[in-house]
Structure 1
Amino acid sequence: MSFLNLETLIVTLYLVFFYLLGFALFHREVMIKTFVTKEIRESQQYAPHFKRLRILGMRFDAKYIAIILSIPFLIGSLFSFINTRPSVNAWFLSSYIFIISFTFISIIIGNYFYFKTYQNYYDIFMFGLKEDDTQAVLKNIYDDYPVIKVLFLCLILAYLPSIFSYYAIQNQYFSFSDNILILTLVYIITLLGIAFLARGTIRSLPLGKSHVQVSTLAILNKMVPNGIVAMEWAFKDRKREITFEPVDLKTGHTLMQIALQKDSLLDRIPQSDYLANTRPNVILALMESLAMNCLVLDDLIHNDLLGKLRPFYDNSFTFKRFLSSSCGTAPSLAYLYFNSPIQNISQSIAQKTPLAHTPFLVYKKQGYKTIFITSGNIMWRNLGNYLPLQGVDEIYDQNHIIDVFPEARKTLSYWGIADEFAFALAEKCLLENDEPVFINILTITNHPPYQVPNHYQTMPIQPHLLENRFGKNNEERSNMLSTFQYASNALGQFMQNITQSAVKNKTILAATGDHHVRSLSAKLPEQYFIAHAVPFILHIPDEIQQNLNITFDPKRIGSHKDIMPTLYSVSLSDIEYWNLGGQNLLAPSVNSYYNFAYNEHIWADNNGIICHSDNLTKYTWKDDMLVADEANLSTAEEANKINAYKKLLFWQINFQIKGSN
């Protein structure tokens, strides 16, 4: 009988850690050599991408190895205080190491064959083993792959660290010190090391899927996660899985009639010889928290929230009676670009299903190059994999931007890099392309924890205006206002650059907010609309305006559903598009049945607003932006229209994905 030697336990687990880490690193190199072309591997252009790939991949490997070895470390630590037979300690710990080594190695090797089949790491489709004919799938795997040989290899590779661990622990090979202080220090360092590796990061969120983008090449990004990482993501996606089912056409037609008084969701932009020949560039920025609930505090002299955006905000076609489709970035993005009321569509079972009518495809079919740029990480919400399926030709995120503008690295924060560099890349893409482009920009700077780049000089702001409405102190309020101003100013600088460039006469610029400024309290019910409103800013060159029939009514009500129909109408000719009740906001006349604004919480039209997430309570207008305090119940006709529209949103996305029964 004896106590487990703690030094032996620690050294043994260190050696097992490096053994498994070495295997994972070697396997990744095999994946790279097998699935990445020699041309890409030898290109100097992608050398920094490969460096990021290997470093980040190693961090993911270390994270999961540290997690699985934390259990024998903690249990072994307990055994060091219990008087047991050495063979019992050795048998227990070596058995555990064999099991986890076999599982770890098998899953990682299996990922190689999965990738070979599906050109992707483990994803939600691996559950087809259960959902399809399991026996047939297993037979197919057995027939197509060297299952027996791989199984034998995994057993051998798992046996090596386990048999080493058994003899090391039983014979207590590694007794390097009798000094209790040294032993305690080593133990604490090891414990902290496990915790650090298991988290994977210090300043940002724990290492996860949002960190995986290392290149503009999708194939390199797919080399980062090992099989364990990918399988965890697949299980998480499985939990978020949304069921899509074929729909009934008759039900859909009924909903269309009630909600929109139409029989089809396909609409057509009229013929325009001028636009057909001109094909102007179109740039749309979806700005983080560019919202009216903060902009109502804007004052040029004392509280400047617009900066260089002011000339465009004041002199372009700016719609302020305008709602975001949702109160979050992901759902607003899904609604705007994928016509989806389901924010997790890009992570769902439908994540590999191309949609037939995305805005990207509308422009792509007209000969436009489609580009998506974000100052964050493109693997957020799996967009890096989903956007190419929906018609996006080129995708750029913080990693590529840093490659192009190395100084951007200094602004890297919790969520990404400073917005100005995303705009700089958009400008570069615009000026360097000879073909017309449809560029979309997703910004992130105006987001908690509200940090502006060190080089930015804040213009006058008044934090006290937010007293009792936002933050705990003036420092927090100042940070929020400064960040809001910075993001607006960056957008304004970009628009100024474009309107002074060689393409100024053939480039349409548009911007809107993704949602309201969160945690900024509102006076309800008076500010119900303002609390969900975002501006829609549209700059159209004079030359294009002169050739179109444009009528601007700044009091016209709209929402995200109207953005694409408006952009199509001022840039394209005779095209068909999917329309969920949107209209051209610059048309001489309005379709009275489309003349409403929709947000996931409120519905607005010329009669007032209806809180459809709260018993359909209705408030009439006090002025253009504020509503009266007195509440009423919506009429039966209003309630039917709103409920039909909400059901129609889900009906049509199911129709696009699964068709009709």
Structure 2
Amino acid sequence: MYKNLKYLIKHSAVILVILFFVRICFAVAFVPMNVISSNLAVFPRLLFNLLRFDVQVICYVLLLPTVLTLVFAALHKPWTERVLSRFRKVYFSIVCVLLLAISGIDMGFFANFNSHINITFFDFFNEGPVSLIQTVWEEYHCVYEAIAFLLVTIPVLLLIRRIESGNSSSRQSVRSSTVPTPSRRRIASLSVILLLYVAFLVIGMRGSVWRFPLQIEDTFVSNQKILNDLVPNAVYMFKKAYKEKKNAFRMESTADLLRQYKFKSLQEALDVYTEGKVKMQNNDTLAALQRALFAEVGDTLKQPQPNVVIVYCESWSNYLFNLQQKDADMYFGLERHFKDDLLFRNFQSVQNGTVASLENLYVSTPYPRFFASAYRFKTLPTSIALPFKDSNYRTTFMSGMDAAWENCAEALVHQQFDATYDKFHLLKDYPRATYNCIGVYDEYLFQALLDKLKKPSEKRQMIAVMTTTNHPPFEFPKDLKLPSLPESVYGRKCFAEHNRKVLDKYLTGFRYNNKVLNDFLDRFKASDAAKNTVLFITGDHNVRSILSYDVVDKRYEHSVPLYIYLPPYLRKEAYKSLTNRWGSHDDILATLAPFAFRHTKYFKMGKNLLDVSVPDSTYFSANVEQIESVPAYRKNAERLTDARNLLRHVYFGWYWRNKS
């Protein structure tokens, strides 16, 4: 048994060397020396995470031979050694050849697409095997690559054979009819070794001994993409790509969508959504959909275009502001800003998860998990970045998290965001910044945002921001000091959660968010940036778990506030009277458009909350789980939402089938 485990460890070492050799080849082929020399400080973390990914592969490879070894050991037969040796020789030879092959394919993929194997890898097979082979033969140096593959593979196979040739003693033992019974001392030592070995396998397959298992975020170790690309191996990226392909969403037919949303025809939905203004001509469905779903902004504003900042605050609850009392500060100074500017509290998130809310704002897709689909590699005409770029803005996504989370960095660059600024940019620009397992603390993110707004720029800036600190497991800066809350707050009937520690974490996260937000607004308004910047600040979704909606009004179940700051030259006194309107995330872009866009078409999902010519009663708030409006308008709001969702599904279905 002990001897067989030794052989497994030796084969593991061979696999580790192969994976390390591939990394060296990758570095030589793709990583410039100046990038390496200027980022030496990140190499300890890079090597550590690299090892975690490789060990995970090794542990999964070891699983089958380990199980067979244990089963054969239980049989206690003399022929098991010979059978296991032959199995290992064949098994590890196949594994090593496959590892080298997929690693070579991954490097070829990277050379063409500047990306490891991703979900688009499977698109090649849609062309048919003949055309695939022809393309590979014409575009790659197949002969030279085959020779290189053989030059690497043959020594590896010989090494595997040599490892197993040391098993001659086990073959000699087959001639004996009995197997010696091990002593108690040997059994005890073998048990300890086996226990340690199993622990290594379990930890290795998880890839972590910490709170979170190994995940795509662990590939980000610096603000240099090419260094981050060194971390994952081809096997992990292939597995990730296959999982995304497996989970890809399916598109329903127009007939099925009409039945689902209870419309007789697309024209009926167009009539409801556009009040009869859009008619299909010559059965041109696409043209009709584009007229219904896109709007064009002329040049109605004669003043200069402002910078635009849209902040999604993690789990920024609307209801928790209602807990404010004399000895329980929830606002931390925000009430002054709310009073001076515009605050919409009849407001909801459209989606109820962070990535879903980001996708809804950035690409308005009706399908969830867009960032995890193959379509993220195509620029959608609905991308929020496009109208800003058409209006001469520079577009940036900022967050304290690893931008690898949910493929944000990868997806947004294809949606025409000019830059992403994440955890590693913050740590490089602000060396004293601290962070938790989710990301750099929000106070440093807001400092970076303010510095970016203060810095002179040739173009106006559109900056989309996502905070992270108010998120489980709720880890806060060590020097954070907030006034304690009285016991009466924790005992309120509005809470579904009665565990004091859990409740305190949620309330601390909410109050921390408000404190750093207030600090940012104080400094922002004292700066020159306030003279030419529009701020929209809302929550990505409501706080989860802790509120009981048997007690709390259901209108708060998905409710987040919307705060709007306008520079002096854009303000109108009439806007103050509009803040009781119902709205949702869908209305953000439509409200911004008249201030920012010039002769620009954009995907319009909602209404301009600051349009003084429209009655308040026609505004509504559409969350995926509930619609809110004045009671008399509720049925109209539901029908309008159904019409819009139907038209949007049909439009996206057509676009992806014909353009992707």
**Among candidates 328, 346, 354, match of residue 321 of structure 1:** 346
Q: Does 1:57 align with 2:50?
A: yes
Distance 1:438 1:317, change over 3 A: same
Measure the CA separation in 1 of the matches of 2:622 and 2:538: 15
Q: 1:128 to 1:601 in 2, by over 3 A?
A: same
What does the per-residue CA deviation read over 1:364-415, in whole Å, with 9 as the maximum and x for residues that have no partner? 2222221111122211221111101112111122222222233334x322x2
Q: 2:248 aligns with which of 229, 241, 247?
A: 241
Give, in whole Å, the separation in 2 of the partners of 1:254 and 1:593. 23
Q: Where does residue 627 of structure 1 map in the other structure?
A: none
Q: Is the 8 A contact 2:297 2:599 kept in 1?
A: yes
Q: Specify which of 289, 305, 308 is matched with residue 279 of structure 1.
A: 305
Q: Which residue does the alignment assign to 1:624?
A: none
Q: Aligned in 2, Cα 1:640/1:543: closer, same or farther, shift over 3 Å?
A: closer
CA distance in 2, matches of 1:71, 1:192: 16
1:437 and 2:461 equivalent?
Answer: yes
Decide which of 252, 256, 271 is 1:257's aligned counterpart. 271
Cα shift readout 1:37-77 (whole Å, capped 9, x = no counterpart): 344344x1x33455544432222111111221133233223
2:299 maps to amino acid: Q
Distance in 2, Cα, partners of 1:25 & 1:609: 64
The answer to whether the 8 Å contact 1:316/1:538 transfers is yes
Q: Distance in 2 between matches of 1:497 and 1:358?
A: 31
Change (3 A) 1:259 1:235: same
**Against the structure 1 CA distance between its residues 450 and 382, is the aligned structure 2 distance closer, same or farther, given a 3 Å change threshold?**
same
Q: Secondary structure at the match of 1:370?
A: strand
What is the correspondence of 1:283-302 to structure 2 with a 5 Å cutoff?
283-299=309-325, 301-302=326-327
Task: Give CA deviations for 1:243-263 in whole Å, capped at 9, x if unaligned.
Answer: 458979996554333124353
Tell me: CA distance 1:247–1:390, structure 2 relative to 1, closer, same or farther (3 Å): farther
SS in 2 for 1:206: coil
Please state how far the C-alpha of 1:235 moved relative to its aligned partner: 0.9
Aligned to 2:180: none
Once residues 26 and 161 of structure 2 are traced to their aligned partners in structure 1, the CA distance between those partners, rounded to angstroms, is 28
The whole-number CA distance in structure 2 between the counterparts of 1:591 and 1:127 is 51
Matched AA of 1:195: V
Matched AA of 1:361: L
Aligned counterpart in structure 2 of residue 589 of structure 1, from 588, 594, 613: 613
2:565 to 539, 543, 564: 539
Query: Are residues 1:74 and 2:67 paired?
Result: yes
1:32 to 12, 21, 27: 27
Matches of 1:550 and 1:638, distance apart in 2: 23
What one-letter code is carried by the residue in structure 1 that aligns with 2:150?
Answer: F
Partners of 1:609 and 1:28 lie apart in 2 by 61
Note the 1:591-606 alignment, pairs <5 A. 595-606=619-630
- Describe how 1:405-484 pairs up with structure 2 within 5 A: 405-409=430-434, 411-413=435-437, 415-435=438-458, 436-462=460-486, 463-466=489-492, 469-484=495-510
Within 2, Cα distance between the matches of 1:384 and 1:99? Answer: 35
2:636 matches 1:641: no
Secondary structure, in 3 states, of the residue corresponding to 2:35? helix
Residue identity opposite 2:478 in structure 1: N
Paired amino acid for 2:229: K
- The percentage of counterpart residues that share the same residue type is 22
Q: Matches of residues 443-592 of structure 1 in structure 2 within 5 Å?
A: 443-462=467-486, 463-466=489-492, 469-524=495-550, 527-545=553-571, 550=575, 552-580=577-605, 582-590=606-614
Distance 1:517 1:590 in 2: 32
> Using the alignment, how far apart are the partners of 1:499 and 1:122 within structure 2?
46
Residues 609, 341 of structure 1: CA spacing in aligned structure 2 closer, same or farther, 3 A cutoff? farther
Kindly indicate whether the alpha-carbon contact (under 8 Å) linking 2:342 and 2:576 is maintained by their aligned counterparts in 1: no
> 2-side partners of 1:303 and 1:509: how far apart?
27
Contact 2:503 2:546 (8 Å CA) reproduced: no
From 174, 181, 193, the equivalent of 2:200 is 193
Paired residues of 2:426 and 2:448 also in contact (CA < 8 A): yes
Does the 8 Å CA contact 1:603/1:609 hold for their aligned counterparts? no
- Residue 75 of structure 1 aligns to which amino acid in structure 2? L
1:654 CA drift (Å): 2.8
Is 2:221 aligned against 1:214?
yes
| Structure 1 residues 209 and 390, CA gap change in structure 2 (3 angstroms) | same
Distance change >3 Å, CA 246–CA 355, structure 1 → 2? farther
Residue 237 of structure 1: CA displacement?
Answer: 0.3
- Which position in structure 2 is the counterpart of 1:620? none
Specify every segment of 5 or more residues in structure 1 that has no aligned partner in the other structure, as ranges.
1-5, 611-633
Q: Over aligned residues, Cα RMSD in angstroms?
A: 3.0
TM-score (norm. length: structure 1): 0.86
In the alignment, which residue of structure 1 is the partner of 2:286? none
For residues 101 and 658 of structure 2, what CA distance do their matches in structure 1 show?
39
Q: 1:17 & 1:309 partners in 2: Cα distance?
A: 58
Q: Against the structure 1 CA distance between its residues 550 and 74, is the aligned structure 2 distance closer, same or farther, given a 3 Å change threshold?
A: same
User: Quick check: 2:496–2:548 contact (8 Å CA) kept in 1?
Assistant: no
Alpha-carbon separation, structure 2, partners of 1:117 and 1:209: 22
Partner of 1:619: none
- Aligned to 1:33, the other structure's residue is in SS state helix
Q: Give, in whole Å, the separation in 2 of the partners of 1:191 and 1:550.
A: 66
CA contact 2:317–2:542 (8 Å) conserved in 1? yes
Out of 411, 415, 425, the position equivalent to 1:386 is 411
C-alpha distance after superposition, 1:103-129 (max 9, x if no partner): 222212221122223322111122224
How far apart in 2 are the matches of 1:442 and 1:157?
Answer: 50
TM-score by length of 2: 0.86
Q: Does 1:269 align with 2:297?
A: yes
- Residue in 2 that maps onto 1:205: 212
| Residue 638 to residue 358, structure 1, CA distance change in 2 (3 Å) | closer
Offset of 1:481 from its aligned partner? 0.5
Report the secondary structure of 2:355's partner residue.
helix
Q: What displacement does 1:160 show?
A: 3.3
Contact 1:470 1:477 in 2 (8 A): no
For structure 2, list consecutive stretches of 5 or more residues without a partner in the other structure.
172-182, 259-263, 279-290
Asked if the contact 2:398–2:464 (Cα under 8 Å) also holds between the matched residues in 1, the reply is yes
Question: Structure 1, residues 546-565: CA drift from partner, whole Å, max 9, x if none?
Answer: 6x974542211111111112
**CA displacement, residues 160-212 of structure 1 (integer Å, 9 cap, x when unaligned):** 34313322334369xxx974444433332222222222211222321022322
90 and 609 in structure 1: CA distance in 2 versus 1, 3 angstrom threshold? farther
Matched residue type, 1:497: R
Cα distance in 2 for partners of 1:70, 1:102 equals: 18
Stretch deviating more after TM superposition (571-580 or 90-99):
571-580
Structure with the bigger percentage of helix: 2
Give 1:322 shift: 0.7
> 1:495·1:509 contact (CA, 8 Å) conserved in 2?
no
- Between the aligned partners of 1:391 and 1:551, the Cα distance in structure 2 is 35
Letter in 2 for 1:127: F
Report SS of the residue matched to 1:350: helix
Whole-angstrom distance in 2 between the partners of 1:101 and 1:591:
69
SS in 2 for 1:234: helix
Find the counterpart in structure 2 of residue 344 from structure 1: 369
Output the CA distance in 2 between the equivalents of 1:592 and 1:312: 24
In structure 2, the residue corresponding to 1:407 is in which secondary structure? coil
Residues 3-56 of structure 1: CA deviation (Å, up to 9, x unaligned): xxx3322332222222211221221121122123344344x1x33455544432
What code does the residue aligned with 2:445 have? A
Shift of the alpha carbon at 1:482? 0.8
Q: Does 1:88 align with 2:83?
A: yes
Structure 1, 330-339 or 317-326: larger mean CA deviation: 330-339
Q: Is the 8 A contact 2:537 2:563 kept in 1?
A: yes
